[in-house]
Amino acid sequence: MISLRICFAATLAALFLAPALRAETVQVAVAANFTAPMKQIASAFEKDTRHKVQLSSGATGKFYAQIRSGAPFDVFLSADAETPARLDAEGATVAGSRFTYATGRLVLWSPRAGVVDSRGDVLRTNTFRHVAIAAPRLAPYGAAAVQALGRLGLLAAVEPKFVQGESIGQTFGFVASGNAELGFVALSQVYENGQIKSGSGWVVPTDLHSPLRQDAVLLARGKDNPAAVALMRYLQTDLVRAMIRAYGYEV
């Protein structure tokens, strides 16, 4: 495994640093929580390399099924570590290419000020009708929310009020539109300049759920695509790490 990683790293460096003889296009499947930072990263990558990026955003679980069914993706940015590891074990990736690009944070959020308190005690009240959550079987952030509610002893009381989104992106939409008074979303969706940019929120303590470690992997289809290999290298640069941190992720 070590030798594979060394060889892959050498290949990445060579392809990333060499002048692009011809612009290529990389098809990227990106977890919904990482859509905004990935758009910024893709724009910078295109300017720096002349390659093109096509982004598809959605739920990690659905992307897994699509990739296994032959969907034409070159790079997969998951919302967890388990799904890329599973694809690795199934031979659907380039061995040694997987790495953690970010660790996310979960937040209970409302677009209205004063609705969510700084300790999340609103969950213990009966003052809301609906709480949005991403489908736990498809979205790691939804699974983390269920885990947190379970550890707080609140799952049985809150679960009847769930409004489930297929992805964390759809879940955010439910809350932002007012279809749910509050919801568990990704911190990156509501974070700006070091704070929650609007409304009210409670950043869920990390000891209430498993770490939201997010892994990227080069899929087998992207093995010979210079744009895909260059993007994997680009994601590990200091420039991109700074962009990711600006959205509230740990790197």
Tell me the pLDDT tens digit for each residue of 77-118. 999 999 999 999 999 999 999 999 999 999 999 999 999 999
pLDDT at 31: 95
Strands, E, within the chain: which ranges?
25-31, 52-58, 75-77, 99-104, 106-110, 131-134, 162-165, 182-186, 191-192, 195-196, 200-203, 212-218
Band of the pLDDT at 4, cuts 50, 70, 90? very low
Mean pLDDT of 232-237: 98
What are the chain's domains? 2-103+212-246 (3.40.190.10), 106-203 (3.40.190.10)
Query: Which of these, 6, 31, 28, 5, lies nearest to 169 by C-alpha position?
Result: 31
Residue 179 pLDDT > 80: yes
Q: Encoding tokens for residue 64?
A: 């897994």
pLDDT of residue 11: 47
What is the per-residue pLDDT across 35-50, written as a single tens digit (0 to 9) for each? 999 999 999 999 999 9
Mean pLDDT in residue range 129-145: 95
* Predicted model pTM: 0.83
Among 243, 236, 214, 242, which Cα is nearest to 12's? 236
Band (22; pLDDT cuts 50, 70, 90): confident
Q: Say what the pLDDT of residue 21 is.
A: 56
Q: Tell me how far apart the alpha carbons of residues 57 and 45 are, in angstroms, rounded to a whole number.
A: 18
